[in-house]
Structure 1
Amino acid sequence: MFGRLGSVNRVSSEEVMQDGAHRRVVRIGDTVRRPAQPWTPTVHALLRHLENVGFAYAPRPLGIDDEGREVLTYIEGDSGSLGWAKVVDDQGLSNFARLLRDYHDACESFSPPPGANWSTDAGGREAGSSDNEVICHGDFGPWNVVWQGNQPVGIIDWDFARPAPRLHDVAYALEYVAPFRDDAECLRWLHYSAPPDRRLRLEHFCSAYGLDSTAGIVDAVIARQQDNADLVRRLAEQGHEPQATWAADGLLTELDRRIDWSKTHRQLLE
């Protein structure tokens, strides 16, 4: 069960961090308040486990406030759109990959509580599952890491956490940091000063994470891109936000374009 916290003065103490159609996220002092979801108890169990095993890069769950919002500790640093520039240089890229490996190792011993509920209906881990399956973050990109300089100090936004092979997170991250994007997007939006050496960056990430080989990685990224597009399409069709708005704004067409680019330009990464 959730703990309950006292009420707060919304007018004088709330700092809006995100105010979208699907959720309003605010900071109050050293805490962050977000709308609680059906999977929030399971995610809080995961975050408590991370605290218990000494993983210092996740927010701590503090319960539910009087307005039904989950309460998490605030992590000081840069995140969101500011995260993209942090992974351009080799040191930031290596730190990003090592953070993911450290998280996977920290959650390996986690056992979801009975009746665990995940946002994508992935279910809980079962006996006999793959040794490579952990509770993946599910949305591990530079925007969901908190940075101080080029050092990551936290991982945020755990809504898509779910049981999956480690490669699920690795492939997702590599789409964005290799990146599987054309030169124009890299130069215009992703803070590169020149077209990136995608093959070298992919190898650098995999080495920092601790993989012995990059064999099959490109196929895994393309498959992960397709899975993500299918997930957005399914959630949009069911009326979930923000996916419904994303679909209405043309994101599904953009996701299909990115998949086509990856298939056509895979020689840049292999």
Structure 2
Amino acid sequence: MVDHEMLQDKPHRTVVRVGDTVRRPMQPWSASVHELLRHLEDIGFAHAPRFLGVDDEGREIVSYVDGESGGAGWAKVVEDDGLVAMAQLLRDYHDAVRGFRPVAADGWAGRTAPPEPGELTCHGDFGPWNLVWHGTRPLAVLDWDYAWPARPIHDVAYALEYVAPFRDDETCVRWLSFPAPPDRRRRLEVFAEAYGLTSTEGLVDAVIAQQEAVWERARLLAGQGCQPQAEWQATGFLATTADRIRWSRDNRRLFE
């Protein structure tokens, strides 16, 4: 067993593994996330780490899930097996939280309003890097810091931005492990069907809408001095994100 391992070492975010636990910095909205993780444990949802408390350094403690994650996740969704499995896991998660009604008063990242009719607690950051993989099978969902109330299509659209993906050919091949520019329309259809959608109508608009919502959330958190969003603003990363939204609008023909 690994006794101590640095998983992420950034000035604003030091994440360490201690034995079979992970210690992570708290956020102002962490109590809401902890309530969500306790709900998932209570109903037997096996695909999330367990919240185990807060240590004497004020860090949250969650269970460690063994497998590949982070940058290794990109290659897992290039082939259909991983793409389909990711969509099915997202549907399983949404089914697990349809009856969840949080009572924590701390709100969520970028939102304090309670859920509205038709909304559930989305993961909010459902990308291949935040899954724990064994081969092309995702076993668990990590990093729940950006969970928030939204319609389920928000998580679907967020995932599609990265797995269709809504990126140019060079980025797909150079950074996202594709051997050649992907058939984005087909991949969008495969993911949507595996999730359980009966139509892809409106999905491109949904992807662009979630890009805008996530960008606005990042700007809000940056204005509040939260990290890493404040750093993203200072380094121009938020401007790059705005460019990605424009690319999605200009290239929607690739997906429709």
Normalised-by-shorter TM-score class = over 0.9
Over residues 7-63 of structure 1, what are the superposed CA-to-partner deviations in whole Å (9 max), with x where a residue is unaligned? xxxxx9421101112111000000000112232222111111111212100000111
Task: Find the counterpart in structure 2 of residue 160 from structure 1.
Answer: 146
Structure 1 Cα separation of the partners of residues 104 and 240 of structure 2: 39
Task: Find the counterpart in structure 2 of residue 254 from structure 1.
Answer: 240
Q: 2:93 aligns with which of 84, 95, 103?
A: 103
Task: Find the counterpart in structure 2 of residue 5 from structure 1.
Answer: none
Structure 1 Cα separation of the partners of residues 98 and 106 of structure 2: 16
Name the amino acid aligned to 2:35.
A
Over residues 247-269 of structure 1, what are the superposed CA-to-partner deviations in whole Å (9 max), with x where a residue is unaligned? 22221221122111111111110
The answer to whether the 8 A contact 1:97-1:206 is kept is: yes
Over residues 161-188 of structure 1, what are the superposed CA-to-partner deviations in whole Å (9 max), with x where a residue is unaligned? 1111001111111000000000000000
Residue 253 to residue 119, structure 1, CA distance change in 2 (3 Å): closer
Over residues 200-257 of structure 1, what are the superposed CA-to-partner deviations in whole Å (9 max), with x where a residue is unaligned? 0000000000001000000110111112222222222332211111122221221122
The answer to whether the 8 A contact 2:28-2:106 is kept is: no
Task: Find the counterpart in structure 2 of residue 144 from structure 1.
Answer: 130
Task: Find the counterpart in structure 2 of residue 44 from structure 1.
Answer: 34
Task: Find the counterpart in structure 1 of residue 113 from structure 2.
Answer: 123
TM norm structure 2: 0.96
Task: Find the counterpart in structure 1 of residue 178 from structure 2.
Answer: 192
Q: Secondary structure at the residue paired with 1:101?
A: helix
**Matched ranges for 1:9-88 at <5 A:** 13-88=3-78
Structure 2 Cα separation of the partners of residues 216 and 121 of structure 1: 25
Structure 1 Cα separation of the partners of residues 142 and 242 of structure 2: 27
Runs (4+) of structure 1 exceeding 6 A deviation are none
The answer to whether the 8 A contact 1:116-1:124 is kept is: no
**Residue 116 of structure 1: CA displacement?**
4.7
Task: Find the counterpart in structure 1 of residue 224 from structure 2.
Answer: 238
Structure 2 Cα separation of the partners of residues 20 and 78 of structure 1: 20
Structure 1 Cα separation of the partners of residues 125 and 64 of structure 2: 19
Task: Find the counterpart in structure 2 of residue 9 from structure 1.
Answer: none
Q: Secondary structure at the residue paired with 2:31?
A: helix
Name the amino acid aligned to 2:109.
S
Residue 219 (1) aligns with residue 205 (2): yes
Residue 229 to residue 119, structure 1, CA distance change in 2 (3 Å): closer
Comparing 241-250 and 211-220, the one that deviates more: 241-250
Task: Find the counterpart in structure 1 of residue 188 from structure 2.
Answer: 202
**Residue 140 of structure 1: CA displacement?**
0.5
The answer to whether the 8 A contact 2:31-2:104 is kept is: no
Structure 2 Cα separation of the partners of residues 13 and 98 of structure 1: 34
**Identical pairs, percent:** 58
Give ranges in structure 1 of 5+ residues lacking alignment. Answer: 1-11
Q: Secondary structure at the residue paired with 2:133?
A: strand
Structure 1 Cα separation of the partners of residues 221 and 103 of structure 2: 25
Comparing 253-262 and 167-176, the one that deviates more: 253-262
**Residue 114 of structure 1: CA displacement?**
4.7
Name the amino acid aligned to 1:198.
R
Q: Secondary structure at the residue paired with 1:229?
A: helix
The answer to whether the 8 A contact 1:174-1:180 is kept is: yes
Over residues 125-147 of structure 1, what are the superposed CA-to-partner deviations in whole Å (9 max), with x where a residue is unaligned? 35xx12xx110000000010110
Name the amino acid aligned to 2:18.
I
TM norm structure 1: 0.91
Structure 2 Cα separation of the partners of residues 231 and 183 of structure 1: 27
